């Protein structure tokens, strides 16, 4: 090989090597960006879940209160139920 061909070959190898490194760095940067985005989404979904769980607990307490009140009303309307005896 003559010097010019060797030089061009080495230059191409260096360019290929650097391009590969840049591409790898860009992939890493993109992966980090996606990871941050996914972590933010997870945090948002966890917050939403916590809020919905609290709402569900509040609704459950309200439901139980209504059921207890309904039982009281039924007992007051039917005296047989107040004594626990059903004729």
pLDDT digits (tens, 9 = 90+) for 17-37: 888 888 898 888 899 899 999
Q: Is the pLDDT of residue 16 over 70?
A: yes
34/58 Cα distance (integer angstroms): 36
Of residues 49 and 22, which shows the higher confidence score?
49
Of residues 15 and 51, which shows the higher confidence score?
51
Number of C-beta neighbours around residue 81 at 10 A:
13
* 75: confidence class by pLDDT, cuts 50, 70, 90: confident
Residue 81, C-beta contacts closer than 8 angstroms, at least 6 positions apart:
74, 75
List the chain domain ranges. 3-82
Average pLDDT over residues 48-68: 97
The helix (run of H) or strand (run of E) holding residue 83 is none
């Amino acid at each position: 090989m003559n010097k010019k061909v060797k030089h061009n070959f080495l230059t191409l190898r260096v360019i290929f090597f650097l391009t590969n490194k840049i591409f790898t760095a860009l992939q890493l940067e993109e992966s980090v960006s996606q990871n941050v985005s996914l972590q933010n989404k997870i945090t948002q979904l966890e917050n939403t879940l916590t809020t919905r769980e609290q709402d569900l607990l509040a609704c459950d307490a309200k439901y139980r209160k209504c059921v207890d009140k309904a039982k009281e009303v039924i007992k007051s309307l039917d005296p047989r139920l107040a004594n626990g005896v059903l004729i």
